[in-house]
Amino acid sequence: MLYPERLHQFTKEHADAVAALVCGLFLFCGWFALHLGFLGWALLLLPIAYVIGGYESAREGLTTLIKEKELDVDLLMIVAALGAAGLGLWRREYYLIIDGAILILIFAISGALEGYAMRRTERSIRSLMSLTQDTARVVRRGNQEVIPIKQLQVGDEIIVKPGELIPTDAVIVEGYSTLNQAAITGESLPVEKTVGDEVFAGTLNGYGALKLKLHQPPESSLIQRVIRLVQQAQTETPPSQQFIERFERGYARVIVIAGVLLLILPPFLWNWDWETAIYRALTFLVVASPCALMAAIMPTLLSGIANGARQGILFKNGAQLEMIGKVRAIAFDKTGTLTTGLLEVCEVIPTSDYTKADVLKAAASVESRSEHPLGLAIVKASKNLDWKAATEVQAFPGQGIVGIIDNQEVIAGKDDFVKKYVADLPKNLIEIATNLELQGKTVVWIAEKRWGEGEVRRWGERFHPTIPLPEHQVLGIIAIADTVRSQAAETISRLKKLGIEQIVMLTGDNQQTAESVARELGVDRVYAELLPEDKLHVIRRLQQEYKTVAMVGDGINDAPALAQASVGIAMGAAGSDVALETADIVLMADRLEKIEVAIRLGKRTQEIVKQNITIALGFIIVLLIGNFLGEINLPIGVVGHEGSTVLVTLSGLRLLKN
């Protein structure tokens, strides 16, 4: 029972190839019968070859003619084959029936090869779907249950064992492991994940068991959004392909009119006999058909989309793959795009009586009671130091914070705030702080109340008696900044070498900070203190100057600019849902260097499309000249025509390689 089922499945999956094979078998038998002089058998077998090999093309051609009132290339091939057969019967030159059957066979083989090529591209794209799990292991009422993914609810706790795929986007609540995210983000190295980190569906868990908590519906997971967008990309036709399809509809009419003229005029103008005129007209229908031209674009674009998806670059449609290769200017959002979006302590400058550790420990003691991002950055920088949290903490929004440690008072904040406690700030620190602020860094001043005479103070494991000093003393300053991405400067440099004429930075941050980051990265132009609508207006001005402009962003405030740009590029891992939905291209990992890869892929796509169009038009011109001069017959014309179609299809598949 299994064998017939497998045979049925095989014939269903490879229907085009099977039809071509059977057509070839009947063609060979018909030719052999004719060669042996069995005309009756030949006239029986050859029509069967016509029907089996040409049925699908005839059906599609007639459907297009009836429903859309348009001539189709498939129908032209069938007309040419039947015309050759009719001419052979009329003149009793039965080898012409063989020629028509060969046309049908080669057309069927070409269709099968094109089908295989397109399915290879589709399989490469659909491989994303294999990353999705059907079930998940959840903890309910203290027991583990395996349930379908679609039944998961927000708040469910999921168990993932070592070596298993993450079933859906979630947050780690217990465990530590390394995850292979290559299939989703394109990162080649495993990434360490621990409690509080988000994990993505389709990534492969390493050696550690994890307990996850579902924080969003499964259908909102990153991989599901990717799959939906890729499916959408397959159904949308890019402008170049739309142009070719419009051209093909008009071109088919021209072919028919030219074929009729070639049939009627040569006998009167050049004294051709009618049989020759009919044969040349039929050959003309074959060689002038734009099959290769139709196959010059879509296989290339779909291959490029598949290539990008494998490298963590999601093109939402083929039009954007074409457009990215034409970009002349790129605008970057600053925070979260050129920078990490995370504040970090970059410098600690103590006064002469203290060490960096003294300053950090005092600051962390009071800032540990604060929710302010600056305070969180200080606490993070002090995680390896021994300090204890302050008591009686009082925060002064926008100014600073005060707390008690071992009955001593510690102050952290702006210089104006600290001046209320310290009469004179050290002049050398004022100068250093001013320079740091010019570099776009935020400076936090740290001071403490000094001990009275006869007391000892304890900081940094140092014990010594103190002498009477002013009541408060500055310990030092801490510089905090949103750190620039490690690959940002190199990416911008490489983009300029790639031919990008202008690199622009857009930010809502202050002008001073923006210019500091721009100088560090080599950005050409800076627009600071912008609202979301301001970013949109800047993009419009850039488009007037450079025509094709890309915008790279990650936040909700970037969405209007992303929508306005010729190509909107969103940072996938850190990007907001609004930015991801608005953008045309999504970088699945927060890796700016992927922008260069995307542009190179776009340029390569343009090159291959141009090569394919040149090849297609070249074959058509050569075959038309050869037919008019009488140098080619119908089978040679078919081989040239279908060979060029297969050639440009395979040429487009070159983009499947990295």
Catalytic residues: 333
203 HSE (CA, 13 A, CB side)? 31
d(CA 276, CA 593): 62
Read off the DSSP letter of residue 482: E
Are the beta carbons of 145 and 177 closer than 8 angstroms?
no
Q: Label residue 352 left, alpha or beta by phi (over 0 means left) and psi (-120 to 50 means alpha).
A: alpha
User: What's phi and psi for 253, nearest 5 deg?
Assistant: -65, -40
Give me Rg for the CA atoms of the chain: 36
Q: Which among 100, 558, 184, 31 is positioned nearest to 334, based on CA atoms?
A: 558
> Is 136:153 a contact under the CB 8 Å cutoff?
no
- Single out the residue of 335, 440, 400, 369 nearest to residue 379, CA to CA: 369
How far apart CA 284 and CA 262 sit, in angstroms, is: 8
What gap in Å lies between CA 572 and CA 579, rounded to an integer? 9
DSSP for residue 384: T
Tell me the two tokens of residue 174: 């217990």
Please give the full DSSP string across 399-455, using - where no structure is assigned: TEEEEEETTEEEEEE-HHHHTTT-SS--HHHHHHHHHHHHTT-EEEEEEEEPP-TT-
- Residue 231: CA atoms inside 13 Å, Cβ hemisphere, count? 8
Q: Where are the alpha helices (DSSP H) in 295-342?
A: 298-310, 318-324
Handedness of CA 103, 104, 105, 110 (dihedral sign): positive
Show Cβ contacts of residue 592 under 8 Å, excluding neighbours closer than 6 positions: 337, 338, 485, 487, 488, 491, 552
d(CA 147, CA 161): 16
Pick from 13, 15, 27, 33: nearest CA to 105: 27
Of 374, 382, 376, 388, which is closest to residue 357 (Cα–Cα)? 382
Crossing angle (nearest 10°) for helices 634-652 and 274-287: 10
CA dist 12 and 23 (Å) reads 17
Burial of 211 (0-12, 13-18, 19+ CB in 10 A): middle
**Phi, psi torsion values for 448, nearest 5 degrees:** -140, 155
- Output the CA torsion 104→105→107→108 (10° steps): 110
Q: Which helix (H) or strand (E) holds 15?
A: helix 15-35
Contact between residue 485 and residue 338 where contact means Cβ atoms under 8 Å apart: yes
Dihedral (C-alpha) 517, 523, 525, 528: value to the nearest 10 degrees? -20
Residue with tokens 């600056």: 374
Task: For residue 443, give both structure tokens.
Answer: 């400076």
Q: How far is residue 360 from each of residues 377, 406, 433, measured CA to CA in Å?
A: 11, 16, 16
Cβ atoms within 10 A of the Cβ of 139, count? 13
